[in-house]
Every structure is written in structure tokens, then in C-alpha cells.
Structure 1
Amino acid sequence: MSDFDLFVIGAGSGGVRAARIAAAHGAKVAVAEEYRIGGTCVIRGCVPKKLLVYGAHFAEDLNDAAMFGWDIKQCQFDWPVLRDNVLAEVDRLEGLYRQTLTNHGVTIFEERAVLTGPKSVRLASGREISADRILIATGARPHMPAIDGIEHALSSNEVFLLDQLPKRVVIAGGGYIANEFAGIFHQFGSQVTIVNRTDVILRGYDEQIRDRLLQISITKGIQFRFNAAFDRIEKREDGSLKLSMTGCDDLDADAVLFATGRVPNAQGLGLEEAGVTLGDNGQVKVNERAQTNVPSIFAIGDVTDRVQLTPVAIREGQAFADREFGNIDRTVDYSAIPSAVFSHPPLAGVGLTEGQARNKLGSVRVYTSDFRPMKNVLAGRNERSLYKLVVDEATDEVVGIHMIGPDSPELLQVAAVAVKAKLKKADFDATVALHPSMAEELVLMK
């Protein structure tokens, strides 16, 4: 008999969900985690980053407060206070994740585990463990390019631990992490420059929406260097950085953050030795049931490089555990996955972009609402929101919803239900507006 029915390598959101559900179905489960329980999202990703986003929003809110009658005598920002409070919240959440596992009888090994065969692993302590099924849920890590001086750069892992806020920040990348931290640092008072190797930010999002963010970001004072690349990072005696560039003038900075994608954590786990096939990007290749080419070995989440989103990893973990231990034939539907960028202002989208819809469906109708939120009007802020519906001409089905503006992610979650349910534009038109709200724009487009 094996030591465990299921052995999970990696205690991020997906691995924890899989372990918990499998244990609830009666399986004997163990989890190995070499760093901290909770994974990227809880420890060094979306949760602490969102808390920084909340903190950054106070900059504009406090500035706008005067037009709403508030007389704030003294206004100053203390980075160590926010940093330490965020880290304390991370500690609290890690404790809750740990408690969830222990409450379900899951054995936790706080050390690295590597495969030694299709049904066996070895812990860093040397202990050999057997399991009927092994689940790889090790996530991904920031990509750090091989350039001279890269050791002087930050990744998104270290940015939460800064001793002090840098006065000048250069951010490499044009994706969601780069644009989110650009907004955070800018609101905290840093001079921010984004360097992108192409002339497109947020590839995959609707073109109109991402162009609006670029326009607003430039208006706020965030600088962009497109079609540019880093040659070398040199640290001066005073601690500042000299950035030698290709495609633009050299830059000076107090910190440089690389947000140029994430790499699956599949190396050094003994996967290839166990016969598991890896993809061109180093990802674990799996079928629709999260199963590798080795029948007893499975993988979920970012390590598979399918959709690198925490809710997707959780869905995959739940479906895996239900199938393998609960006798529930469940798979994950990857269509109509909502996503958001917590930039300033935030943007969000679900379904097909206008370009994708035209390529796939041919004839589409596009409805937009370009407006200035009521709060911005009274505050004297010219920043405008943009909402967009993409409709299949042949069926009247709303196949995509995209928006940028205050609270867009909160609104988009509900709107995503409409896309998932294949509602028609006529259903939106027949819905009574909730006034006064920004959300009413979704049902008033003509």
C-alpha cells in the first residue's frame, strides 16, 4: 500500500484546493511546500498587490476630497506603515490556509519534494514517500532576462519588501503586472517609466480599452519607452542605477522592476526522470483532465502554462479532486474567463475583444459608452470611463464586455455571468437601469 492516496507538490491556491477537496472525499493526502503556504497569489502576488492598489487610490481620493467639502490639513504617505500592514495580512492569510489543510487532515511537509518515479517522491530531508497519485501545483516564477547587472533588478517577488520608496522607478514590460505597479508607484509619488520591447501594452485586451489606459497614464505623468530593450544595469556608488538601453536613451533610476512574464516552475522536480513530457516553455503538458502522459501524475495551475490566473488554478484543483476522489466527472470550461488589470484606473474584460470577434464571427455590432463618472465631474477630474459591448450580428448574443474606469473589475464580475449565459443585447436593453450609477451604462447603450 502507498503512504498516501494523493501527494501534492506545491501549496498555492490550486494545490490547497485540490488537497482539501480530495481529503473531504476521504482520501489520505499530503502536501509539500518549500516556501510558504498560500503560493504566489496570497504571499507575493494578487492579494498583497491589491492591498497596495487600495493604498494608492487614497492619493487621488484625498486630492478630490476638497471639492466634496473635506478640509484635510495634513496629508503625507508613510510607506513602511502600509508595507508592514500588508505583510501582516499576508501572515494572517497564510495561517488560514494552513488551518484549512490541517482541519481536513492533510499532512503538511514544509520542505522541497522531487519525483523519484511515477508514484514516489523524495523530500529534502531524504524521506521517501509513495502515493497513488501525484499532483504538480508548483506555479510559476517571474522571468528575469540574462543581462549584465540583472542582480540589481527587482522582480514582483521582492517589490513588497522595499525598505523605502524609490524616487525614480523603471519598469520593464507591458503586461498587467507592469501597468499595475506603474500606477501604484506613481500614486505613491515616484517618477515612473515603463520600457516595453514592442509598442503594444496589455496584449490580448481590447484595443480601445488598452489605448484609453495608455492615454490616461501618459496624462497622469507616467512615461513610456516603446520598442526598447535593456543592455546592462550598473549600480553606482550612491546606490542609484544606470540603465544602458537599446531603442531609447539611457535611463537613470533608483529601482528597476522586471515584469516581463512568468516561467512555469517545472525544473528540478524530477519530472523528466519520471517520464513526464514538458512543453517548449518548460510547462507540464496535460490533457483536459489535468493528466500528464504518465497516468499517475497530474498538474494544475500556472505550471501548465494554460491560463495563469488564480481562479483558474482553483477550478482545476477542484475538478481534479472531484474526478479522482469524488466520482464526479467534472472538467474546466476555459471559455469566457473574466480578467482585470488593477491599474489606475482599472480595466476588465470578458469574452471576445472587438478584433477577435470580427476575425471569428465576421459581422459584429459594437456599442460603447464614453462618459465622465459623476464623482470625477464634481472633483474637476477630466478622466473618462469607457464601456464596450461586442455583439454577434447574426444572433444578437453579447460575446464580449470590456470596460475601463472606477470599479470596473467589480462590475465586470456580474457582467461576465451575462456573457457566460449567452444573453442577448435585447436582454440588456430590457433591463431597467439602476440610477445614478456607472453600471447603468451597460444597459443604456444604443
Structure 2
Amino acid sequence: MPTNEGAFSASKPRPNSATRVPPPGRVHRGSRVTRVNAPERAAVIDLEAIRHNVRRLVQVASPAAVMAVVKADAYGHGALPVARAALEAGAAWLGVAHIEEALPLRAAALTAPLLAWLHTPDSDFGAAIAANVDLGCSGWELPRIVAAADLLGRTARIHLKIDTGLGRNGCTLTELPALLADVARHEAAGQIEVVGIFSHLAVADEPERPETDAQLATFLAAVELAHAAGVHPSIRHLANSPATLTRPDIHLDLVRTGLALYGLSPLAGRTPASLGLRPAMTLVTQIAHCKEVPADQGVSYGLNYRTPTATTLALVPLGYADGIPRIATGGPVRVNGVTYPVVGRIAMDQMVIDLGEAGLVSGGHSLLGAEAVLFGPGDGGEASVDEWAAAASTINYEVVTRISPRVPRVYRG
């Protein structure tokens, strides 16, 4: 059933609750959308929102520099377009997890400092060094990085990764003196340059928790150990998006911003608008089918939902193969200014919304081809990524990063 009061009729269609600028390839006519060579499904990425968010983060982080984290195809937004927009808006660094993510950015002639920090024994350190990609180093990677640098006759740029309490990658304080002795030796030989030292925070999205202060203390102790060993990184970086927004004392020389770059809030109870951010992704498709059904009609696999009354069902052609969590029954879909929850199980390619009496009054078939928006910035009344995250019992990070390549990206701005 619709979650907004008021229904549209065949003679007087209800207008959208706010005027929305259509993506390229669409023409709005009243409350309907005529698509002109546009994808049937699209993740519309507002690059001006990305630029706005970077400018906001630069302002908040100053005098520290901002690294735009574009790993995981820029959290599903498209690494190359986002990287370009972020650099245009004032980001000084780019960050990715894997070397394989860094190399296409270099191939596209992006020359900004670029760090890749997650490796395996099969990682191509030589390709990274040749492309002037900085490398995170927890310890085991050092001999491999040095060997690749020697083979190329180049100096590798590394950032020492410290485990300050997250328990994942990084060198512990106990192991650090031995690593620093090796690092100092290789740096003196010109094989490596220690550009940075960094760590990652575990609970910065819960600002009241004391573990962040403990991690900061451990990190600063690691920096002192490095200096005592004759290793002097010029860039210290620890803050992620939530720490960038809440802990100026952790900004140090560089902040690494991921989620906030895309206009999403990393803090429970705080909206993007309250943080000065603008969500960049809108997930949109069109109604693929409508039909009137009687009361007690089962819907989708398992027949877990049955229509309480005679109604109209509408088919939304997005499913878990497109990255929509199968568990997210109840997720909101906005059509013609009204928001409807998904009913029944989400399938591989599709989901169903129940139009209720509104569909019967209007004649549900009139909605065939109507724009259906799953989430967006909210200026058109559409749901937020956070509402879909709640429906799927997950976090906003996961919702955007899992939108699959089957959904074309369309760029504005």
C-alpha cells in the first residue's frame, strides 16, 4: 500500500512532489517520463554533488589535505569520473585498496598522488612502482617491494601501515622496531622512500567511544618510534570520514574520505544535509508491468505476501542481480509522487510494489513506463540510501557499492 496519502487518477495525474531535473536522455511531460535513448535502469551520478562534497571536506579538514577514496569503483559511482571531479574540487590525493584499481587511473593520465594499500603475495608491485603509485606496507610486503624497485631501478614510495587496534592489516607496535630497522636500511640505499605512516580507525562512527583516543595514542607512539629509528614520514594520516567530520585533532596531515565523498552520512542519527553533504547517486528505472489482481493474491517466491484487498501490482525491473539486497522487502519505491513499499521477496531481476486502491482508481496500466526511483538525494521526495539500508538490515556503504555493473551509470555535471 502507498505510504503517502492521496492517490492519482486517470483524469488528473498527481504531479511529482518536487520538480527534478531529468538525466540526459529523458524528457518530462507532466508527471510522466518519456525516455529518449536512455537506459531502462540507471544509477545517475551527480558529479557536481561530488565536487560540492569535496569542497565541504576540504573546508572541514583544513589545513590537512584530503584524499578522495575511490576504491570499489568509487563506492559504485565510477572511479574515473569521480576521481576527476574530486581532483577538480580540491582533493589532493586519491586512494584505492588494490593496485589493480590504481593502474587504470594512471592510464587515464591522472597524476595526483595515489595510494594503494591492500596487497597479496601476487600483487604487481613492479607495475605500481612504474606507474608512480604509492604502496601501503605492513611489513611482509617490504622485501617484495624492494625487489620490484631494484628490478626497475626505481625508488618505491611507501606508507607504513600501523595496526593501532582494528586488528586487520598493519604492523603492531611490538613488531614495529624490527620493521623500522629494515625500512631505514632500504631507505638509506635509495630503494624506498617512506612518504607516509597511517592507520585506520575502528569506531570513529561512534564518536563517544574511547577506543578512538586509544588508537590515536598508539598511532602517535608509532610515529615517535619511526622518528627514533631515523625514519621521517612527511605525511601522517589516520582520519576516515567520520573522524574528518567530528575529530579535528585527528586530521593530522591528510584525511582519507570515502563515504562522505559520495554525500552519505557515516554517523548514526545525522543526515547528509546536517553535515553539509549532498548524496550523489540516484537509482532509477521504469515500471515494467501493471495488472489488477483480487484479494489474497500471492506475490513472488514463497508467497510470503498476499494482497489484503483487490489491488494493482506494479513490477519494478531491478533485483538482486542489480545489487538490490534480496532481504530488503519493504524498501521504498517512489512513483508519480507516491512512495510504495516493495512487497514479497525481491527476485534476481525484479520486485513488486502494491499500488493499493490508487492503482484501481487510476487504472494501473497508465503507470506502465512511469519513472520509479528507489533512492536519491531527497529533493524530489524520493527515499534515501539509508532507508534501503534499514530495509536490508545493513549500512548505506553496502547499498551503493553493491549496485552491479548491469545497471548503467549516467553522469550529470
TM-score, normalisation: structure 1: 0.24
Whose radius of gyration is greater, 1 or 2? 2
TM-score normalised over the length of structure 2: 0.25
Considering Cα pairs closer than 8 Å and 6+ residues apart, tell me whether 1 or 2 has the greater RCO: 2
